[in-house]
Amino acid sequence: MGISHYIKEIGRGKDGARPLSREQATDLLGQVLDGTVTDLEVGAFCLAMRIKGETPQEMAGFLDALRNRMSLIPDNDIATVVLPSYNGARKLPLLTPLLAMLLAREGVAVLIHGTPTENSRIFVSEVLLALHIQAQAAPKFIAPGEVLYMPTEVLCPALKRLLDVRRVVGLRNPAHSLVKLMNPCAGKALVVSSYTHPEYAVSMAQTFELTHTNALLLRGTEGEVVADARRMPQMDAFINGQRQLLQETQAGTLSALPDLPKTTDAVTTATYTQSVLVGQQPVPASIAMQVEHILRLVKQL
């Protein structure tokens, strides 16, 4: 069938483009993920959406299409905490694995999913490998107290290909938003998600509300879902899409700053993570608060 008629609607520029319905968005992304459209159409779709921006209805439709094509983590009869990790470390150490392991220590089943999206950053797969956590080759059951790392290409190879379009055109596309919103679990889950710019906080919240998702949303560290160790961000919860404020922003930096590593390499970050886990270094206050909020939310699911 092709997607040219959709591109005609979304590709009229910032002011002239028309939003798609949820059903249209589902069909469009379904065709893209199924590989039934040309590379030229995929590129046009990515650029058009980058200029127009995604509406919550469109994101809900994209999530519907992705859900139908994704290999899901088996239901483990408990709530799994889902940590997407796609931004990596630029200036600050990548502490998403620390968040995961702190949660697992409390008996939580934790899924980290991600993939490298650039060549110049340290990504979660590297830090996890330094912590002796291997990537999985297929979806598997996650036990309480276990951290599982699932590469995006295992969950949905077509989604990985769409993410990689950025390496060609140099711009993000809807896939980069989808990975922070999606729930790859067949059973109950709490999606921890983050934003970098205030406008994304609004659109992501509206999408969680529309899709009745269980989630925690905050401004993380350089786009990662772990709270910035230097400050206390606002944290909002969504239980079946119903929003509640958990944590207000605290202005400025925290009074007691952690002794973070001066470099972002995987080995140094892993060493710091292990030192926190064994009590040699304190858990950064904002991350400790994030863990407390997540634990309380998991009990509600």
pLDDT, residue 206, reads 97
Give the residue from 25, 43, 67 where a domain finishes.
67
Write the pLDDT tens digit of every residue in 235-289: 999 999 999 999 988 876 665 667 899 999 999 999 999 999 999 999 999 999 9
Which pTM value belongs to this model? Answer: 0.95
Instruction: Clarify whether residues 120 and 12 are in a common domain.
Output: no
Query: Residue 127 maps to which CATH number?
Result: 3.40.1030.10
φ and ψ at residue 122, rounded to 5 degrees = -95, 125
Write the pLDDT tens digit of every residue in 23-61: 999 999 999 999 999 999 999 999 999 999 999 999 999
Mean pLDDT of 97-124: 95
pLDDT, residue 249, reads 85
Q: pLDDT-based confidence at 170, cuts 50/70/90?
A: confident
Write the pLDDT tens digit of every residue in 59-73: 999 999 999 999 999
Instruction: Clarify whether residues 292 and 216 are in a common domain.
Output: yes
pLDDT, residue 214, reads 98
CB 85 within 8 A of CB 113: yes
Q: What is the β-pairing status of strands 235-239 and 242-247?
A: antiparallel
Least reliable range by pLDDT among 1-5, 33-37, 187-191, 272-276:
1-5
35: CB partners within 8 A, 6+ apart: 158
Mean pLDDT of 169-198: 94
Mean pLDDT of 188-217: 95
Give CA 189 to chain center in angstroms: 13
Instruction: Clarify whether residues 37 and 63 are in a common domain.
Output: yes
Instruction: For residue 73, tell me if it sits in a domain.
Output: no
pLDDT, residue 255, reads 56
Nearest to 292 by CA among 257, 256, 247: 247
pLDDT, residue 254, reads 60
CB 159 within 8 A of CB 177: no
Please state, in angstroms and rounded to a whole number, the distance separating the CA atoms of residues 287 and 194. 14
From the DSSP assignment, how many helices (H) and strands (E) are in the chain?
14, 8
Domain that holds residue 223: 80-300
Return the amino acid letter for 116: P
Answer yes or no: is pLDDT of 231 > 70: yes
pLDDT, residue 221, reads 93
Instruction: For residue 74, tell me if it sits in a domain.
Output: no
Domains in the chain, number: 2
Query: Residue 27 maps to which CATH number?
Result: 1.20.970.10
pLDDT, residue 19, reads 94
pLDDT, residue 252, reads 64
Average pLDDT, the chain: 94
pLDDT, residue 259, reads 84
pLDDT, residue 159, reads 98
Instruction: Clarify whether residues 29 and 101 are in a common domain.
Output: no
pLDDT, residue 14, reads 76
Instruction: Clarify whether residues 120 and 25 are in a common domain.
Output: no
Instruction: Clarify whether residues 44 and 91 are in a common domain.
Output: no
pLDDT, residue 197, reads 84
pLDDT, residue 257, reads 62
CB 117 within 8 A of CB 84: no
Mean pLDDT of 179-196: 97
pLDDT, residue 256, reads 60
Instruction: For residue 105, tell me if it sits in a domain.
Output: yes
CB 166 within 8 A of CB 47: no
Instruction: Clarify whether residues 100 and 221 are in a common domain.
Output: yes
CB 295 within 8 A of CB 249: no
Instruction: Clarify whether residues 53 and 93 are in a common domain.
Output: no
Instruction: Clarify whether residues 34 and 121 are in a common domain.
Output: no
Please state, in angstroms and rounded to a whole number, the distance separating the CA atoms of residues 244 and 296. 13
Please state, in angstroms and rounded to a whole number, the distance separating the CA atoms of residues 67 and 77. 20
